[in-house]
Amino acid sequence: MAERFETLEIAREGRVAIVTFRRGDQLNAMNKAMQSEITAAFEGLSADAEIGAIIVTGEGRGFMAGADIKEYAAQSGPEFDAFQQAGERMYRAIEANAKPVIAAVNGFALGGGFELVLCCDIVLAAPEAKFGLPEIKLGLVPGGGGTQRSVEKLGRNRANLLLLTGAIQPAAEFVASGLVAEIVPLDGLMARAMDLAVMIAAEPPAAVEGLKRLTALALAGDRAAGLAAERDLVCALYRSEIGQARVQDFAAKSTARAAEKAAKAASKTG
């Protein structure tokens, strides 16, 4: 059963939540209402023990074509400032979400939409999808972390090409950098995203959420802190009930296979 809001929908299939932007007639451009609903949706899902993974996508031809510029134009300076500050919380709700977030990019992901993609853990994209940070065309710069996250994910020179020219490029151009994990035909995009989400959601939450924290530490560049946190987590997981159950089960099955193989070999030589 899906929950419908003004600008988006949340559907739940088992332990997977699917967040779909629903301003298709505006290429899912983000206005204040959508910004608020995205924040609430992702903060709620992060705290939901029944959810193990999240997919985010858009309806129609757009994933999210940036901010709603018509609304931008009508804002006063203080209103614009407040919108940008609220955006920081929204992007943090995605990037720091306890649950892995898979972007299924079906169309245009520009400006704030591309900044949202940069916050996701795994990115799948249709061949039709296009990425870009065209804010310079408005005499602006990205305000949702685009300058920082694009350098982290793409490298400084690649990010500069996008930022300084406002270029809009096909998703396939972002595979080599590792930002886009897979290009998937549009008619199979959600099925592939669901396959991955179900696979991830089936694993122990403590391990999944711990891996997200560890890779974030790696991105921060503090190797010593990351290695220490990794050691602490693997030791804690080894002592956990599910860790012990899975390790012992694996060992028992391995022993049984070895015994079976030895018995077969003995029967052939006997």
Write out the catalytic residue numbers. 115, 135
Please count the CA atoms within 13 angstroms of the CA of 64 that sit on its side-chain side: 27
Q: Which two tokens stand for residue 69?
A: 């510029």
Is residue 143 within 8 A of residue 87, CB to CB? The reply is yes
Give the burial string for 137-150 (b: 16+ CB within 10 Å, else e). Answer: eeeeebbbbbbebb
Instruction: Give the Cα separation of 193 and 125 in Å (integer).
Output: 10
Residue 218 CB partners (closer than 8 Å, separation 6+): 226
Q: Which two tokens stand for residue 200?
A: 């991830």
Helix (H, G, I), strand (E, B), or coil: what is residue 168?
strand
251-255 own/partner pairs: CB under 8 Å, 24+ apart: none
Q: Identify any residues that bridge with 30 across adjacent strands, giving them in sequence order.
A: 67
CA diameter of the chain: 90
